[in-house]
Chains A and B, each alone.
Chain A
Amino acid sequence: MTEQVADAVLTRIQQERLQPGDRLGREQALAQEFGVSRPTMREAIRLLSSGGLLRAAKGPGGGIFVERTIAEGLSHLLSDGLGSMLDVDAVSLDELMHVRIAVEIPIVRVAAERIDDAQIAELEAAIASIEAGPHDERQVREGDRRFHQTIAQASDNLMLQAIVGWVFDVLQPRLYFAIPPPTVEDVVVRQHRAILDALAARDVAAAEQAMRAHLDHLRDLTTGAAATTAGAS
């Protein structure tokens, strides 16, 4: 029953194209609207909240709100799960780099077939932001995130976007921690530019090759950093 109500609530969010921050209503009103008891509605909301899709706010003006888009909700599940594993050392950075390669290569291939000119311009801007900020770590990170996220969006596939979101929530922050940015910036900018050139030419094979070179490079740095840490301790 709870499952069915959760499905119905989700269907409504989908049909009405509700966005993060939009208010669904109060628990009681929702229970009435969907013709179920309040405890059933509460369970359904809890189910969707644990998936990161909804959020309950108390007080006046409170109620049930959309917390994330569908792709973000799914992506959040993966980020939470993989983040927890990393926190307790149940998975290594190297394993996660391998997973990243297994999802980002397919994504860049699909993106090369579908990317539009506005997205190409967005990639240009992301690289400019990395180039402009060699001493501003924040700006470099933000540019990096924008670059990879734009490629995911260019795949025009919600599942592919959802399956790669954890890279920037979970993996990338630890990589920045493990690898000091100044040592890699020039190379990384060159690699990003090679990916962009291949995407702008809509060249699938070249895009794959450029992305692979970039991720292999990051993976080598990660392994090197892990070895150094292990050697030091």
Chain B
Amino acid sequence: MCGLGPDRKRPPSATDLATAQLHAMIQARQLQPGERLGREEELAAELGVSRFVLREALRQLESTRLIRRMKGPGGGVIVANTFEASIGRSVSDSVARLLNARALTPRELLEARVAIEVPLTGAAALAVDADALRELSSSVSRAEEALPDGERVASCGATFHRMIGVLGGNRIVESITAWMFDVLQPELDRLSTRIDDRAVVDQHREILHCIERRDAAAAEEAMSHHLEYLGKLARVF
């Protein structure tokens, strides 16, 4: 909770404060996903709050996918995701729900994806280094080797796109655009009558070549063409 910032209207509740303390604790101890924060009674004592307040705070953090609670011996409160990944996941959860309720349309989402991902691809072409190129290239090769296993091709494809988000933006850009691959892409696949995985892999390779040449304009053009292709297959554009 950002209940402590200068911008909040309502005074923070005890739960908000406990949530903020838990965030601070995870950051101070540099806890990684899978690592243990402690048991509920220990945490309540450490923060000086009641079990009830602690539970409400944990419930809040669980709903935003930052922690999970494990029962039994060796259980307790476990860090589920990094801060940025938890933001990405909770946004994806929400986007999925809004798509289900038709409060957001596939067209709206794809349009937002094109608007954001095309310039990111150009920025990636300017920012790329040898290590990043190797990783990008290996994700395209893995997709190619995975043919005709559609699911594995899709998963390598998502990795390829996510890497562009990190390269052209940063870890936060990657997480706030995760819905594109967690929610929108599966929806496009579902709407498509046929999916030509070979064509998708070829398009990824073309984008990769443009990034390799550090040709931002060509990289943007190639990404734009790729997304338009996906939109047409799904009959969204």
Residue ranges of A at the interface with B (Cβ–Cβ < 8 Å): 3, 6-7, 10-11, 13-14, 46-47, 50-51, 70, 73-74, 77-91, 95-96, 98-99, 102-103, 105-107, 109-110, 155, 157-160, 163, 169-170, 173-174, 177
Contacts and interface: CB of A to CB of B under 8 A. Distances in A.
A98 B173 contact: yes
- Main SS at interface, chain B: helix
A99 B172 contact: yes
Interface residues of B, number: 50
Contacts of A98: 169-170, 172-173
A95 B2 contact: no
Given A47-B63, A102-B120, A78 B5 contact: no
19 contacts: A13-B103, A14-B101, A46-B59, A47-B63, A70-B103, A77-B64, A81-B91, A84-B1, A84-B23, A86-B5, A88-B26, A90-B83, A95-B170, A99-B176, A105-B119, A110-B111, A157-B108, A157-B115, A169-B7
Contact of A95 (B98, B100, B108, B172): B172
Given A51-B90, A88-B26, A157-B112, 4 more contacts: A78-B91, A99-B170, A99-B173, A107-B115
B163 to A, nearest CB: 15
Contact of A87 (B23, B108, B111, B168): B23
Contacts of B27: 88-90
Contacts of A13: 101, 103
B34 to A, nearest CB: 18
A78 to B, nearest CB: 6
B184 to A, nearest CB: 9
Contact of B2 (A87, A89, A159): A87
A80 B108 contact: no
Contacts of B63: 46-47, 50-51
B98 A173 contact: no
Task: Please provide the 3 A-B residue pairs with the shortest distance between their CB atoms, ordered closest to farther.
Answer: A83-B2, A81-B87, A106-B115
Contacts of A99: 169-170, 172-173, 176
B156 interface: no
A102 B173 contact: yes
Nearest to B62: A50
Nearest to B112: A159
B174 to A, nearest CB: 10
Given A81-B64, A81-B87, A82-B172, A88 B23 contact: yes
Interface string B193-209: 00000000000000000
B50 to A, nearest CB: 19
B88 to A, nearest CB: 9
Task: Point out which of B86, B91, B171 has the most chain A C-beta atoms below 10 A from its C-beta.
Answer: B91
A155 to B, nearest CB: 8
A159 B108 contact: yes
A110 B115 CA distance: 7
Contact of A80 (B1, B101, B171): B1
Contacts of B94: 51, 73-74, 77
A105 B87 CA distance: 22
Interface string B106-147: 001101100110111001000000000000000000000000
Nearest to A110: B115
A106 B116 contact: yes
A7 B116 CA distance: 27
A45 B39 CA distance: 27
A24 to B, nearest CB: 14
Contacts of A107: 115
Contacts of B170: 95, 98-99
Contacts of A85: 23, 83-84, 87
A91 to B, nearest CB: 6
